[in-house]
Amino acid sequence: MQFQNVVGVVTSVSTGLVAVSLNDGNAAKSIVVGGFCAIPDGRNGSHLIALVDSVSGSVDEESSSSGKPPAASANARMTIIGQISPADAGRFRFKRGAESFPALGSQCFALSNVELGQLLDAVTATFQKDELFELGAYSLSQQTRVCASGNRFFQRHAAIVGSTGAGKSWAVALLLERASQLQGANIILFDLHGEYKPLSDPETGFATRLRIAGPADLASPGDDVLFLPHWLLSRDEMFSVVADIRQESAYNQAARFAKHIFDLKTEWRDKHKLKKSLQTFTLDSPIPYSLDELIDRLEFDNNEMVEGARSEKKGPWNGTLTKVLERFRDRIADRRNGFLFQTPDVADSPDWLTQLVARLMSSGPDQRGIKIVDFSEVPADLLAVAASTLARLLYTVQFWLEPQDRRPMCLVCDEAHLYLPRTDSADAGQSRSLETFERIAKEGRKYGVSLLVVSQRPSDLNSTILSQCNNFLSLRLSNDRDQSAVRNLLPDSMKGVSELLPILDIGEALLIGDAVMFPTRIRLDAPSVAPSSASIDFWLEWQKGATSASKLALAVENLRRQGRKTAE
Ligand SMILES: Nc1ncnc2c1ncn2[C@@H]1O[C@H](COP(=O)(O)OP(=O)(O)OP(=O)(O)O)[C@@H](O)[C@H]1O
Ligand SMILES: [Mg+2]
């Protein structure tokens, strides 16, 4: 490759890091942080490619005020990221890393748009064609498309981070849209605000939407409503819903819960004549049991009197479960928790779980491979439990599938900071949730389950999960702590690139990880079906009329019944 635009000479080299003294003001202008330079490596036609990390220098005030290009001594610091050399048929080959280093005094070239295009083509050619998907345009050269490896992006967990309104939901919609073009895409999106509904439009969408039951769905649930019955919860999760599991006395109470739950599950098994096939079930196996029965048995314990030496005395559990029972009853009666505790009778039948799993994990003529699960009606205090129950169900079914029958599956966790917080700030329910997701983060790769965590607060996200992510798509991050969470992911020599994070435009992102060869600044394509997350134009909206009294009345009605009904 013959580069044209000499901008300076190499003045110092240390492993991978190169300092370049730039020729004049114009040269300094064509070097930007995050851009690329080429430096001949001594072999015929072969060049090292360096990513510009910083540019510094002093500007001669006289010439700059006279409008001339500043006469200045400017320096650039760059990191060698790979090597480009001629290949067959006028093409070029890109190789990551450096086999050699530039000699002092070597010329340094800035890349023109055409050269940049050739470089990125060579980079793209290092991946198999079929594993690539398009994300958008390269920020510094809009006509150059950026592709990433879909295999690597989804293989070992990824994260999308960015301040509110930076474009995360749009980026998620774009990724889903790209994946939806694949026949067997298998993605389940946890939609916390119901904002991805347009993606399931029968005409223009590409996903199937399911909703976790809200209070208004309990009486006659529609086809799209999902229940996550209480018996899907592990013993610890179940107990965290009714008591603070960290309390000293909780240990004994939890043991009592466990005993009754196990007995009730055994009774269900025997009633349905499944003794033979379910011989080895455990306490946490997803087997239905009745909540009324559980309460009756705990109630019995709580009131039990036993034979004493002289007269009747209080049983071992007498009076110890009053508080837990009270809380339990409250929880069950609350219609907002109906998706857990007020499940339809049919959920008790042995086939029901199979049908639930099929709705989530299979696709066919009337069911698309990409599923959106709407959590918007799940109360905040049960969100972590609901998310982890669903994730665990999906993960364990994948685990128990024969390897040849597994289809790789990605769980997209939107607003992940709400249920995957840092360990030190997690409440009882969130701690249980973390156990599930940490397990998926650590072991999911082997079973073809990956996580895509999406959050506006990377610094509040659980660090175990974050550290397992191999790819980061970072949109604009204005907060310093969040920026450093991303900066820490970069090798020392590339930390300068993180300076870009606060100045990225809306919809512009830095992709860091093995799905691309080097940190790449991308102007993401807008998805063809946008989520309904649009920022509201306050000033323009205020120029229109007010909300009518009847609309407010309807909102109050919805608020009371905790379900959305639109005006007839
Ligand atoms: N790639 C893009 N191209 C053009 N505009 C975009 C792009 N991405 C986002 N936007 C604009 O930014 C707005 C907000 O984007 P989005 O809803 O994705 O933000 P977000 O990061 O998910 O915010 P929050 O954290 O509040 O959910 C969109 O409504 C859209 O107008
Ligand atoms: Mg969003």
User: Of 195, 461, 506, 511, which is best to mutate to test ligand 1, by the most ligand atoms within 8 angstroms of its C-beta?
Assistant: 506
CB of 507 shorter than 6 A to ligand 1: yes
Confidence of residue 411 (pLDDT cuts 50, 70, 90): very high
Residue nearest to atom 25 of ligand 1 (CA): 164
How far does the centroid of ligand 2 lie from the alpha carbon of residue 169, in Å? 4
Q: What CATH architecture does domain 148-226+349-533+545-558 belong to?
A: 3-Layer(aba) Sandwich (3.40)
The 10 Å CB-count burial string (b at 16+, else e) for 224-246 is: ebbbbbbbbbbbbbbbbbbbebe
Model pLDDT, residue 176: 95
Model pLDDT, residue 173: 96
CB of 162 shorter than 6 A to ligand 1: yes
Please give the full DSSP string across 287-340, using - where no structure is assigned.
----HHHHHHHHHHHHH-EEE-SSSEEE-TTTTTSHHHHHHHHHHHH-GGGHHH
> Average pLDDT in the 489-515 region?
85
H or E element in which residue 513 lies: strand 508-513
How far does the centroid of ligand 2 lie from the alpha carbon of residue 295, in Å? 40
94 CB neighbour count, 10 Å cutoff: 22
Residue nearest to atom 17 of ligand 1 (CA): 533
Residue 93 pLDDT greater than 80, yes or no: yes
Residue 248 pLDDT greater than 80, yes or no: no
Per the structure block, which two tokens stand in for 61?
Answer: 């005030």
Residue 452 pLDDT greater than 70, yes or no: yes
CB of 169 shorter than 6 A to ligand 1: yes
Three-state secondary structure call for residue 191: strand
pLDDT tens sequence across 189-207: 999 999 999 999 988 999 9
CB of 94 shorter than 6 A to ligand 1: no
CB of 478 shorter than 6 A to ligand 1: no
Ligand closest to 161 (CA) is 1
Ligand closest to 170 (CA) is 1
Q: Is the backbone of residue 168 left (phi > 0), alpha (psi -120 to 50) or beta? A: alpha
- Helices 322-333 & 291-303 angle (0-180, nearest 10): 160
User: Of 178, 454, 533, which is best to mutate to test ligand 1, by the most ligand atoms within 8 angstroms of its C-beta?
Assistant: 533
Confidence of residue 217 (pLDDT cuts 50, 70, 90): confident
Provide the whole-model pTM.
Answer: 0.87
How far does the centroid of ligand 1 lie from the alpha carbon of residue 538, in Å? 16
Percent of the chain with pLDDT over 70: 94
Q: Which of 158-172, 249-263, 281-295 has the lowest mean pLDDT?
A: 249-263
Model pLDDT, residue 66: 60
Instruction: Compute the mean pLDDT over every residue in the chain, rounded to the nearest whole number.
Output: 86
How far does the centroid of ligand 2 lie from the alpha carbon of residue 548, in Å? 29
pLDDT tens sequence across 517-542: 888 889 999 999 999 876 778 888 88
